[in-house]
């Protein structure tokens, strides 16, 4: 096994339950590289919900809290609130984050909580057999949309930007070096960082949406359809051609939630010490 695997994998859980060629295994490696290069293993805590992507956190040999479907973000907020020095990373999927967990994403981004969300987007609910997800393209045929999906696709990066996330990136498993850099940047960023990872799912997305269960075909599809475009005003042109814009879209510094709460507490205590109440 490679040295990063020796250092960062939970060996008693091996081998991976992932399907052959699944992108999740590549994301485990990317996360391990990022954590190793940052040197934050002792401060790191991962939260994960339910789905194939949640197992990325389980295989990583760090403190991990695996919770109910869609509730990884509130668990992460609790971990951050109890010990703000922690580096909190939530590993979630497109169903876990954009469907059942959508509201948590909205408010965590709005509050600019210092945490990192790694959202693995395989465009389907894979673990349960290939049902339509919020990220499934329009007219795609899945287990639950055998006549074609009639819903519009939800773009997690657009949601994160609209809700006030201060760092937003999207890369894919076909761009591992850029992905490692983006994960490092997200963890180091002070505020809410959202890193979306377009990942291949040969067994569900490959067979239902793309017409092939070959991992090489699926990875090539991702390489061909992920186009670097970091200006959100030009995304419509990329999407009109059936492609997915990738890149580092946004990074700004804004007041972080835990720091604002601490400031408010100090202000109130000082006022109370002077005989006032605020």
Partner 1 sequence: MLCKYVCPCDVYELGQERSDLDYLMPLVVRIENCKVCGLCELHCPDMALTVIGKQKGKEKA
- How far apart (Å, rounded) are the C-alpha atoms in residues 162 and 187? 21
Site string for partner 1, 175-194 (x = CB under 8 A): -xx-----------------
Site string for partner 1, 28-67 (x = CB under 8 A): xxx-------------------------------------
Q: Does 221 bind partner 1 (CB under 8 A)?
A: no
Q: Does 22 bind partner 1 (CB under 8 A)?
A: yes
Least CB distance to partner 1 at residue 180 (A): 8
What Å distances lie between residue 258 and 93, 167, 192, 218, 225, CA to CA?
A: 26, 17, 11, 41, 39
Which range, of 45-53, 103-111, 170-178, 268-276, touches partner 1 by CB under 8 A?
Answer: 170-178
Residue 198's nearest CA partner among 139, 118, 90, 106 is: 118
Binding residue for partner 1, selected from 12, 17, 21, 237, defined by CB under 8 A: 21
| Closer by beta carbon to partner 1, 111 or else 184 | 184
| Closer by beta carbon to partner 1, 26 or else 67 | 26
Rule CB under 8 A: which residues touch partner 1?
A: 1-5, 9, 15-16, 18, 20-26, 28-30, 173, 176-177, 215-216, 219-220
């Amino acid at each position: 096994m490679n040295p990063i695997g020796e250092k960062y994998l939970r060996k008693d859980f091996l081998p991976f339950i992932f399907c052959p060629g699944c992108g999740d295994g590549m994301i485990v490696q990317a996360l391990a590289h990022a954590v190793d290069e940052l040197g934050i293993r002792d401060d790191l805590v991962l939260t994960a919900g339910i789905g194939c992507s949640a197992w990325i956190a389980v295989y990583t040999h760090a403190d991990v809290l695996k919770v109910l479907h869609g509730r990884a973000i509130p668990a992460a907020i609790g971990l951050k609130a109890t010990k703000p020095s922690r580096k909190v990373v939530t590993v979630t999927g497109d169903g876990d984050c954009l469907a059942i967990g959508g509201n948590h994403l909205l408010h965590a981004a709005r509050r600019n909580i210092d945490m990192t969300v790694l959202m693995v987007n395989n465009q389907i609910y894979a673990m349960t057999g290939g049902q339509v997800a919020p990220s499934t393209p329009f007219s795609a045929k899945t287990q639950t949309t055998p006549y074609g999906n009639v819903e519009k696709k939800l773009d997690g990066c657009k949601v994160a930007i609209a809700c006030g996330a201060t760092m937003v990136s999207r890369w894919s498993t076909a761009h591992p070096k850029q992905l490692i850099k983006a994960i490092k940047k997200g963890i180091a960023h002070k505020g809410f960082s959202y890193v979306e990872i377009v990942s291949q799912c040969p067994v569900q997305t490959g067979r239902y949406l793309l017409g092939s269960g070959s991992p090489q075909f699926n990875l090539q599809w991702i390489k061909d359809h992920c186009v670097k475009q970091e200006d959100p005003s030009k995304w419509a042109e990329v999407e009109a051609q059936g492609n997915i814009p990738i890149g580092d879209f946004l990074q700004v510094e804004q007041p972080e939630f835990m720091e604002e709460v601490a400031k408010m507490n100090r202000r109130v205590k000082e006022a109370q010490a002077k005989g006032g109440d605020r």
